Structures are given as structure tokens and as C-alpha cells.
């Protein structure tokens, strides 16, 4: 079975490629820069930009399923899926997000160009058998947000110690994506995929401390101070503003929702945040 994977060189895409190749599928991986950046030898690499899908049309011949990655697709999700359907594709798994129905100004990722809402909507409207993967916050966000501070010292300065997420291990997300691409088991469903626990920022830092075996202290800072720092190191201001708005808006919620969708699909509980940290401890070690 031939499967086209967009976003194949990224955090989620690489894991999806690994799952599919491991299951014996023929993976056609789309990447913008020339070359084959670290993809397994058995994967067919196609140079292209999913947000300009027309030149990719010949590479959709023989493709049975498409992994639609919401960071790569820009305004072209519907066009890519129409081309895939014309050439005989049957299935699409769309990367989306648990917060996709929130007001757009509380979805910071939109300011990075991510199109989770459009990715899901295009999949639903495509006429293909679709699955929307509404992912909660990735466990790897912790490495991106706090890795540098923890490698450099024992204090994590960040906003809202009590803010809750249900961190999702991207390996679990990729397993579900692979199931949705290879079978009809998850046809026409919006899956709400979370980790097994709701954890506050401070609790996540406690888990990291425990796993890496070093005391860490969470020091809450004001949103305006973190914003200044993040903009100072080059993050786009609208993204930072939306991130702080989201934190501020949801800071008071008691527990972040944990759903049972992932366990129902995979027949086992989701991986814990502690397991993710243990397997990525290098992100926090000096
Ligand atoms: N982080 C979270 O908590 C979370 C939760 C739910 C949903 N999501 C969604 O998941 C997606 C992120 O997944 P990820 O971590 O796998 O992404 P990623 O690794 O940053 O990017 C995936 C691939 O997309 C291409 N890409 C990166 N930036 C691009 C851009 N500006 N325009 C076009 N292509 C670009 C790159 O491929 P090439 O260079 O090879 O072309 C990259 O390897 C986002 O859409 C996000 O909204 C994230």
C-alpha cells in the first residue's frame, strides 16, 4: 500500500513514516528542501511543497492514503485532497488539534501558519474516508519551552505554575495516525487524543526533576516578562501574544480534559509524560 506523508521530516511526520514503514507500507515522503534528510532508506522521497500541491499531482498516482500535516498545508488542504481523490486515493488522516474549536485568537499555532482547523475541514469535505487527529499539547513542548533552562540550571522560569495540559506523546499520535492510514477502523471520526494525565506546568517540571534525578524549582514569572524575553529571542510577537492569551484564558481551569480515545484505539493506556521524559532525557541534561 502506497501512502503519501506530508510534513515527513518533522517531529510527528518522522514517527508516522517509521510506523508505516514498519508495517510494510510503501511511504512516499514529501519534503521541501532537496535531499533526503535522515529518512529511512526504504522511503521514497519526493521534493515538493504541500501548500502548492499542483506539481505534486504525478506523485499522487497509486497513492491509497494521505497524511495531511497541518503545518505544511497552508491554504491548500482541499486542493491537495482533491488531486489525491482524482487519482484514486481512498483515505486521509488529518493532523489537527484538541483546541481546534477554540476562538482562533486563542490558538497560538495559527500565527506560525499552522492550519489545524482547515486540515480537519478539508479532510471531512474531501469525499475520502477521513480521520481527524485532534491532538492535545505534545510532550515535546516541554523540551522546547524548558530544555535550555534545565540544561543550564535548576530553576524553570515560566508563566502560570497551575496551568494544566494533558501532554501527548507524539509516538502515540503516530501510532493512531498509522492505524487511520492503513485501515478503515477509524473512518469518519474526530479523535480527541490526549496523554493519560492532566498535569500543571509545575507538576510537569516535578516529573522532569524526578526522572532526570535533579532537583528543579518552578519560578512563576509574569506573562509580560516572559513575552518580552520570547520576543527578544526572536519569536514573532503575535504568536507570543496569543500564547499568553491562551494561558491567561485557561489558567483557572481545574483539570485539562483527559479523553479515552487513544486507549480505545490502541487497546492500551497512552504513554505517560514521565515515560516521554525518560526517553528524551538528553533534552534536559547538560
Ligand atoms: N505542539 C503541540 O502541542 C501541538 C498540538 C496539536 C497539534 N499540533 C500541530 O502539529 C503541527 C506540528 O507538528 P510537527 O511538530 O511535526 O511540525 P514540525 O516538525 O515543525 O514541521 C513538520 C514539517 O513541516 C515542514 N514545515 C515546517 N515549517 C513549515 C512552514 N512554515 N511551512 C511549510 N512547511 C513547514 C518541514 O518539512 P520540510 O522542511 O521537509 O518541508 C517540517 O519538517 C502543527 O501544525 C501544530 O499546530 C501541535
Looking at the structure of the chain, the number of domains it has is 1
Is the full-model pTM beyond 0.95?
yes
pLDDT tens digits, 106-150: 999 999 999 999 999 999 999 999 999 999 999 999 999 999 999
Q: Provide mean pLDDT across the span 22-45.
A: 92
> Looking at the domain assignment, is residue 152 inside a domain?
no
Task: Give CA angle at 43 (269, 77), nearest 5°.
Answer: 70
Q: Is the CB of 12 under 6 A from ligand 1?
A: yes
What cell does 275 get? 515515560
Q: Is the CB of 107 under 6 A from ligand 1?
A: no
> Looking at the domain assignment, is residue 262 inside a domain?
yes
Q: Is the CB of 11 under 6 A from ligand 1?
A: yes
> Looking at the domain assignment, is residue 232 inside a domain?
no
> Looking at the domain assignment, is residue 18 inside a domain?
yes
> Looking at the domain assignment, is residue 147 inside a domain?
no
What cell does 177 get? 495516525
245: pLDDT strictly greater than 90: yes
Q: Provide mean pLDDT across the span 61-85.
A: 98
Rg (CA), the chain: 19
- Cα dihedral across residues 147, 149, 153, 158: positive or negative: negative
Q: Could you tell me the CATH number of the domain that includes residue 80?
A: 3.40.50.720
> Looking at the domain assignment, is residue 203 inside a domain?
no
Q: Is the CB of 146 under 6 A from ligand 1?
A: no
Angstrom distance (rounded) from CA 2 to CA 9: 18
8 CA → ligand 1 middle, Å = 9
Q: Name residue 29's beta-bridge partners.
A: 5, 45
Angstrom distance (rounded) from CA 2 to CA 66: 9
> Looking at the domain assignment, is residue 265 inside a domain?
yes
User: Which residue range(s) make up the domain with 57?
Assistant: 2-139+169-195+257-270
> Looking at the domain assignment, is residue 279 inside a domain?
no
13 CA → ligand 1 middle, Å = 8
pLDDT tens digits, 176-198: 999 999 999 999 999 999 999 99
pLDDT tens digits, 197-239: 999 999 999 999 999 999 999 999 999 999 999 999 999 999 9
Amino acid at each position: 500500500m502506497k501512502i503519501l506523508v506530508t510534513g515527513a521530516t518533522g517531529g510527528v511526520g518522522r514517527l508516522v513514516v517509521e510506523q508505516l514503514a514498519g508495517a510494510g507500507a510503501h511511504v512516499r515522503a514529501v519534503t521541501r528542501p532537496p535531499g533526503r534528510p535522515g529518512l529511512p532508506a526504504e522511503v521514497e522521497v519526493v521534493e515538493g511543497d504541500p501548500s502548492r500541491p499542483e506539481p505534486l499531482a504525478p506523485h499522487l498516482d497509486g497513492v491509497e492514503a494521505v497524511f495531511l500535516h497541518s503545518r505544511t498545508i497552508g491554504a491548500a488542504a482541499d486542493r491537495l485532497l482533491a488531486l489525491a481523490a482524482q487519482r484514486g486515493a481512498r483515505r486521509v488522516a488529518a493532523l489537527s488539534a484538541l483546541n481546534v474549536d477554540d476562538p482562533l485568537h486563542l490558538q497560538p499555532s495559527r500565527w506560525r501558519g499552522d492550519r489545524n482547523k482547515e486540515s480537519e475541514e478539508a479532510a471531512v469535505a474531501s469525499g475520502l474516508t477521513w480521520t481527524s487527529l485532534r491532538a492535545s499539547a505534545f510532550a515535546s513542548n516541554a523540551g522546547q519551552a524548558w530544555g535550555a533552562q534545565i540544561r543550564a540550571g535548576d530553576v524553570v522560569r515560566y508563566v502560570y505554575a497551575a496551568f494544566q495540559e494533558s501532554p501527548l506523546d507524539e509516538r502515540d499520535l503516530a501510532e493512531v495516525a498509522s492505524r487511520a492510514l492503513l485501515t478503515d477502523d477509524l473512518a469518519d471520526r474526530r479523535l480527541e487524543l490526549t496523554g493519560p494525565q492532566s498535569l500543571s506546568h509545575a507538576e510537569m517540571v516535578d516529573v522532569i526533576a524526578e526522572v532526570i534525578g535533579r532537583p528543579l524549582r518552578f519560578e512563576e514569572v509574569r506573562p509580560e516578562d516572559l513575552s518580552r524575553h520570547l520576543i527578544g529571542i526572536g519569536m514573532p510577537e503575535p504568536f507570543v501574544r496569543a500564547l499568553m492569551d491562551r494561558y491567561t484564558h485557561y489558567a483557572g481551569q481545574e483539570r485539562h480534559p483527559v479523553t479515552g480515545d487513544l486507549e480505545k484505539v490502541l487497546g492500551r493506556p497512552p504513554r505517560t509524560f514521565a515515560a516521554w521524559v525518560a526517553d528524551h532525557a538528553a533534552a534536559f541534561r547538560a
